[in-house]
Structure 1
Amino acid sequence: MRTKTALPAVAMTTVSMVLTLAVVMMWLGTAVPWPVALVVGLGIDGGWLATLAYERRLAAQGDHNRAVTAVGWSFGLLATGVLVAHALTVDHAAGAWLAVAWLPIAAKALWLVHSLWERTALTDNALTAIKDIQQEARDDAAVARARLRAEAATEETRLTAVTAAGARVARVQATTARTLAGAWSTLESARQGEETGRALTSVTSPVTADVTARWELPVWGPSEPTGAPALEAAPALSDDVLDVLVEEIRTSEHPALSYREMALRFRAAGHSASEVRLRAAWKRMVA
Structure 2
Amino acid sequence: MKAKTVLPAVAMTAVSMVLTLAVVVMWLGRAVPWPVALVVGLGIDGGWLATLAYERRLAAQGDHNGAVTAVGWSFGALASGVLIAHALTAEESAGAWLAVAWLPIAAKALWLVHGMWERTALTPVALDAIRGIQQEARDEAAVARARLRAEAGTEETRLTAVTQAGARVARVQAKTAQTLSRAWSTLETARAGEETGRALTSVTSRVTPDVAARWELPVWGPYEPVPALEPGPALTDAALDRLVDEIRTSQDPALSYREMATRFRSVGHSASEVRLRAAWKRVVAA
Q: Name the TM tier (shorter chain).
A: 0.7 to 0.9
Q: Is the contact between residue 25 and residue 34 of structure 2 (CA under 8 Å) also seen in structure 1? A: no
Q: Which residue of 2 aligns with 1:19?
A: 19
Q: Which residue of 2 aligns with 1:177?
A: 177
Q: Which residue of 2 aligns with 1:266?
A: 264
Q: Which residue of 2 aligns with 1:216?
A: 215
Query: For residue 17 of structure 2, what is the amino acid of its counterpart?
Result: M
Q: Which residue of 2 aligns with 1:73?
A: 73
Q: Is the contact between residue 200 and residue 213 of structure 2 (CA under 8 Å) also seen in structure 1? A: no
Q: Residues 238 and 50 of structure 1: is their aligned pair in 2 closer, same or farther, counting only changes over 3 Å?
A: same
Q: C-alpha distance in 1, partners of 2:89/2:192?
A: 136
Q: C-alpha distance in 1, partners of 2:122/2:112?
A: 18
Range with greater deviation from structure 2 (136-145 or 109-118): 136-145
Q: Which residue of 2 aligns with 1:247?
A: 245
Q: Which residue of 2 aligns with 1:42?
A: 42
Structure 1, unpaired ranges of 5+: none
Q: Is the contact between residue 251 and residue 257 of structure 1 (CA under 8 Å) also seen in structure 2? A: yes
Q: Is the contact between residue 239 and residue 281 of structure 1 (CA under 8 Å) also seen in structure 2? A: no
Between Structure 1 and Structure 2, how many residues are aligned? 282
Q: Residues 54 and 267 of structure 1: is their aligned pair in 2 closer, same or farther, counting only changes over 3 Å?
A: farther
Shift of 1:8: 1.1
Range with greater deviation from structure 2 (23-32 or 267-276): 23-32
Q: C-alpha distance in 1, partners of 2:198/2:144?
A: 79
Query: For residue 115 of structure 1, what is the amino acid of its counterpart?
Result: G
Q: Is the contact between residue 21 and residue 41 of structure 1 (CA under 8 Å) also seen in structure 2? A: yes
Range with greater deviation from structure 2 (267-276 or 82-91): 82-91
Q: Which residue of 2 aligns with 1:7?
A: 7
Aligned: 1:56 with 2:56: yes
Q: Is the contact between residue 12 and residue 103 of structure 2 (CA under 8 Å) also seen in structure 1? A: yes
Identity across matched positions, percent = 77
Taking structure 1 as the reference length, the TM-score comes to: 0.75
Q: Is the contact between residue 52 and residue 72 of structure 1 (CA under 8 Å) also seen in structure 2? A: yes
Q: 1:256 aligns with which of 244, 254, 257?
A: 254
Q: Is the contact between residue 188 and residue 217 of structure 2 (CA under 8 Å) also seen in structure 1? A: no
Q: Which residue of 1 aligns with 2:282?
A: 284
Tell me the SS of whatever aligns to 2:49. helix
Taking structure 2 as the reference length, the TM-score comes to: 0.75
Tell me the SS of whatever aligns to 1:83. helix
Q: Is the contact between residue 187 and residue 217 of structure 1 (CA under 8 Å) also seen in structure 2? A: no
Q: Residues 187 and 89 of structure 1: is their aligned pair in 2 closer, same or farther, counting only changes over 3 Å?
A: closer
Shift of 1:74: 1.5
Shift of 1:107: 0.9
Q: C-alpha distance in 2, partners of 1:217/1:84?
A: 122
Q: C-alpha distance in 2, partners of 1:262/1:206?
A: 20
Q: Which residue of 1 aligns with 2:235?
A: 238
Q: Residues 33 and 189 of structure 1: is their aligned pair in 2 closer, same or farther, counting only changes over 3 Å?
A: closer
Shift of 1:242: 3.6
Q: Aligned-pair RMSD on alpha carbons?
A: 3.7
Q: Which residue of 1 aligns with 2:273?
A: 275
